[in-house]
């Protein structure tokens, strides 16, 4: 048993505890994988348990592969046991027993592309408007229903009645029928159908209970209701279930994870042994103490506190910047200063709450020639939605840009598929005209479907309108008009899912880019597009390169870095403005804890007193999580706390406010969307000759003449201009 000597006392206790239910509360960086693999090895080598009788499930193929490799390394050879993901385990069971549910055992598994195609066909067959019922939104509703074990009939009975719910119920019913007719299952079906097999045939359940005498579950805090039921049914045979997880790192409730599974483990499995792995091998003492001072504010958690044999290390640094540009400049400057001969660029990570925050850091790092890579996403200017809207802007400037036109001809979806696009391009080639000019021909548009013809006409009209007026409009006005007039923003809003919200955030943040350039002085559309092209040409760095890592805190789970920067520590940004229930706030706090515990040696928080986000600039209030930090662990700028927030006898020093800070966080995301939509809904201003007006670009002037929607204005500095009343940014000066 010498191999167990590598474990600390608590790890060793967990590895040796083999009979009965066991909950291993494994804090961040506490060596959970080593504990699990040594426990499996101990069962096989020292207890004589056959690998055939062990089931170990986790969430990713990577984690399963790592676990298998470590077990085989300890045992000195390959093992024939189930170490796999939940989906893989359920699939293997269903390959033998799917006939119980009316499938053949050679059923196929539909991936997300397949399931989208199925729903699209259902919508088409039922003449349901995809804009009102986006495919992604419908699939999300179906997935949530399956996780809750709610079938189509029950869904209709419990949620039917309203128009939208009736539509979802109908699509759900037809979706399941289509899958069954095609002898197919989706990913959610794999989990639920395995549970159904156990429910319907006691003999099959007994067979697997007798086989899997020892069950281990990794990342238990991330299990959903169906996964919980799957492992519980199996464990009811021998009672030997070991789950490993950390309730403080449950950050995926928004996609189905049920934190109550780990919090209620002792209730679900009476007599369970609980072993806490609290010794951390990753971070310094101050980082762990700071992380604990935040997470202990959560009430729904298991009591535990990480500790380390390592030194206390440096205190956490906090910097309050004047604005988001200075914040990014400070981070880049600090990385440059700290990257000495003993440090490499890949020792540093910038972890932010939303992908939209990455843009300023990309620009600040590039300005200092610091290599970086964006993990869990693409560089800001390479994101699909940014490239799409830039293509629209290019077409406003140059309608003959066929490359831009072919990019957005079906973005958002207009019913112009690949075959039709090829025909349009060929027609343009034969006619010797641009694709834009070709689509200006009503006869050609009428050869399309009614929907495609109408939507294409609206797009052409919008592009032509802003092309004609581009010299009279600010770039930001053109941008808002394109978001609305092309239907791009509306299509994303109708999808109503996390991915679409992220794309909207990026589009609204792009408005901040425009405002930044407009503040520098006169900016034409041509100038702006040239600058963006130059920024977009910055080389993206290979992930194996020595480069600073930029990523969201969600993507950072499971990783570690010597030095971590956490920017945007402001109420409304982190914690997010959208999180206002106690449950949602606690998940945000767990996300903060995950971010903090990625740091090994140094941790730095930053915030901006003034932040332009999604094109709106506002004063910010420092994050609630900063106010929860033990102040004795912080160096740098002071964190201002209201007097009423300091309890009598508290060790927290009261400094008061040195500046005006809003009483509540400003919801920049909501405000930015309202501003864009307001421009679309704005009624044309009623003007008469002699009226004094203010123009967003040309300043003050006097109306000279109005004729058929065109107003002629003599401006004080810009001279005489003819403007389209319906889009001109004019206000009447009373």
Q: Is 373 among the catalytic positions? A: no
Rounded Cα–Cα distance for residues 81 and 89 (Å): 11
Provide the CA 567 distance to its chain's centre, in angstroms.
Answer: 17
Q: Phi and psi for 547 in degrees, rounded to 5?
A: -145, 150
- For residues 69-87, one letter each, b for 16 or more C-beta atoms within 10 angstroms of the residue's C-beta and e for the rest, the string is ebbeebbeeebebbbbbbb
Residues in a beta bridge with 24: 244, 275
Rounded Cα–Cα distance for residues 560 and 549 (Å): 11
Annotated active-site residue in 186, 188, 218, 571 = 218
Tokens matching residue 642: 């209201």
Taking alpha carbons only, the member of 303, 302, 275, 279 closest to residue 24 is: 275
Annotated active-site residue in 219, 362, 388, 622 = 219
Enumerate residues 6+ apart whose C-beta is below 8 A from 202: none
Q: Are 251 and 587 in contact (CB under 8 A)?
A: yes
Rounded Cα–Cα distance for residues 546 and 729 (Å): 48
Provide the CA 7 distance to its chain's centre, in angstroms.
Answer: 36
Q: How far is CA 127 from CA 130, 153, 162, in A?
A: 9, 22, 18
Annotated active-site residue in 13, 18, 33, 501 = 33
The three-class DSSP label of residue 526 is helix
Tokens matching residue 598: 């990625």
Annotated active-site residue in 227, 249, 486, 597 = 249
Rounded Cα–Cα distance for residues 286 and 279 (Å): 14
Tokens matching residue 326: 């200075």
The three-class DSSP label of residue 250 is coil
Residues in a beta bridge with 217: 57, 243
Rounded Cα–Cα distance for residues 389 and 475 (Å): 13
Enumerate residues 6+ apart whose C-beta is below 8 A from 524: 471, 475
Rounded Cα–Cα distance for residues 730 and 734 (Å): 13
Tokens matching residue 48: 């004589």
Beta strands, E only, 353-440: 372-374
Q: Where are the alpha helices (DSSP H) in 31-134?
A: 32-45, 61-75, 86-97, 112-125
Annotated active-site residue in 353, 598, 673, 721 = 598
Q: Is 700 among the catalytic positions? A: no
Rounded Cα–Cα distance for residues 509 and 357 (Å): 8
- For residues 386-425, one letter each, b for 16 or more C-beta atoms within 10 angstroms of the residue's C-beta and e for the rest, the string is bbbbbbbbbbbbbbebbebbbbbbbbbbbbbeeebeeebb
Tokens matching residue 651: 């060790």
Q: Are 133 and 124 in contact (CB under 8 A)?
A: no
Q: Is 227 among the catalytic positions? A: no
Taking alpha carbons only, the member of 518, 515, 502 closest to residue 378 is: 502
Annotated active-site residue in 10, 11, 12, 32 = 32
Q: Is 181 among the catalytic positions? A: no
Helix axes 384-397, 525-536, angle to 10 degrees: 140
Rounded Cα–Cα distance for residues 595 and 507 (Å): 25
- For residues 343-362, one letter each, b for 16 or more C-beta atoms within 10 angstroms of the residue's C-beta and e for the rest, the string is eebbbbbbbbbbbbbbbbbb
Q: Is 32 among the catalytic positions? A: yes
Rounded Cα–Cα distance for residues 83 and 75 (Å): 15
Q: Where are the alpha helices (DSSP H) in 296-356?
A: 324-338
Q: Are 688 and 702 in contact (CB under 8 A)?
A: no
Neighbours of 717 (CB within 10 A): 8
Q: Is 104 among the catalytic positions? A: no
Dihedral of the alpha carbons of 565, 570, 571, 572, in degrees to the nearest 10: -90
Catalytic residues: 32-33, 218-219, 249, 598
């Amino acid at each position: 048993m010498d191999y167990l000597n590598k474990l600390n006392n608590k790890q060793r206790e967990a590895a040796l505890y083999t009979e009965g239910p066991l909950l291993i509360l494994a804090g961040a960086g506490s060596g959970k994988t080593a504990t699990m693999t040594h426990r499996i090895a101990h069962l096989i080598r020292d207890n004589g348990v056959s690998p055939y009788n062990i089931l170990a499930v986790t969430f990713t193929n990577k984690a399963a592969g790592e676990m298998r490799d470590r077990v085989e390394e300890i045992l000195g050879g390959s093992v024939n046991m189930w170490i796999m993901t939940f989906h893989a385990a359920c699939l293997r069971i269903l390959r033998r027993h799917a006939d119980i549910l009316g499938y053949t055992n050679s059923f196929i598994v539909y991936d997300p592309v397949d399931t989208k195609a199925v729903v699209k066909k259902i919508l088409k067959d039922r003449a349901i408007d995809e804009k009102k019922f986006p495919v992604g939104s419908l699939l999300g509703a179906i997935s949530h229903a399956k996780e809750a074990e709610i079938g189509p009939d029950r869904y209709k009975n419990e949620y039917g009645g309203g128009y939208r719910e009736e539509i979802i119920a109908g699509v759900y019913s037809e979706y399941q029928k289509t899958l069954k007719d095609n002898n197919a299952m989706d990913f959610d079906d794999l989990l639920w159908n395995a549970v159904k097999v156990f429910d319907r045939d006691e003999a099959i359940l007994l067979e697997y209970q007798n086989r899997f005498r020892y069950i281990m579950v990794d990342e238990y805090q991330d299990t959903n209701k169906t996964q919980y039921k799957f492992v519980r049914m199996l464990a009811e045979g021998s009672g030997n279930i070991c789950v490993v997880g950390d309730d403080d790192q449950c950050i995926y409730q928004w996609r189905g994870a049920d934190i109550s599974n780990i919090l209620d483990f002792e209730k679900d499995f009476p007599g369970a042994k609980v072993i806490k792995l609290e010794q951390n091998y990753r971070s310094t003492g101050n980082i762990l103490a700071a992380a604990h001072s935040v997470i202990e504010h959560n009430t729904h958690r298991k009591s535990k506190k990480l500790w380390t044999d390592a030194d206390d290390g440096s205190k956490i640094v906090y910097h309050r910047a004047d604005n988001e540009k200075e914040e990014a400049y400070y981070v880049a400057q600090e990385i440059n200063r700290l990257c000495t001969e003993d440090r490499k660029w890949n020792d540093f990570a910038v972890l932010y709450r939303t992908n939209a925050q990455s843009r300023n850091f990309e620009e600040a790092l590039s300005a200092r020639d610091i290599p970086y890579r964006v993990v869990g996403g693409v560089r800001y200017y390479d994101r699909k939605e940014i490239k799409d809207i830039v293509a629209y802007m290019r077409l406003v400037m140059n309608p003959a840009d066929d490359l831009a036109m072919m990019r957005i001809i079906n973005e958002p979806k207009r019913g112009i598929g690949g075959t039709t696009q090829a025909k349009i391009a060929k027609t343009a080639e034969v006619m010797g005209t641009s694709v834009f000019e070709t689509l200006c021909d009503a006869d050609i548009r009428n050869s399309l479907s009614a929907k495609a013809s109408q939507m294409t006409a609206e797009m052409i009209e919008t592009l032509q309108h802003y092309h004609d007026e581009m010299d009279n409009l600010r770039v930001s006005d053109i941008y808002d008009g394109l978001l609305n007039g092309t239907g791009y923003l509306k299509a994303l809003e109708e999808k109503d899912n996390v991915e679409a919200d992220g794309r909207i955030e990026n589009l609204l943040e792009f408005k901040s880019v425009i405002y930044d350039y407009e503040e520098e002085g006169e900016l034409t559309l041509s100038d702006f597009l040239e600058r963006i092209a130059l920024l977009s040409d910055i080389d993206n760095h290979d992930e194996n390169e020595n480069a600073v890592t930029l990523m969201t805190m969600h993507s950072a789970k499971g990783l570690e870095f010597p030095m971590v920067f956490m920017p945007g520590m402001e109420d409304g940004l982190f914690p997010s403005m959208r999180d206002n229930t106690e449950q949602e706030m606690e998940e945000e706090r767990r996300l903060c804890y995950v971010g903090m515990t990625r740091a090994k040696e140094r941790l730095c928080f930053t915030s901006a007193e003034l932040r332009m986000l999604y094109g709106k600039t506002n004063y910010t209030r420092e994050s609630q999580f900063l106010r929860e930090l033990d102040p004795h662990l912080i160096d740098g700028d002071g964190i201002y706390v209201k007097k009423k927030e300091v309890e009598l006898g508290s060790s927290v020093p009261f400094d008061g406010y040195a500046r005006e800070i809003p009483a509540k966080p400003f919801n920049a995301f909501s405000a930015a969307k309202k501003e864009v939509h307001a421009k679309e809904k704005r009624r044309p201003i009623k003007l008469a000759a002699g009226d004094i007006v203010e123009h967003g670009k040309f300043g003050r002037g006097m109306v000279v003449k109005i004729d058929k929607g065109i107003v002629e204005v003599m401006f004080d500095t810009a001279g005489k201009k003819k403007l389209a009343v319906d889009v001109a940014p004019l206000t009447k000066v009373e």
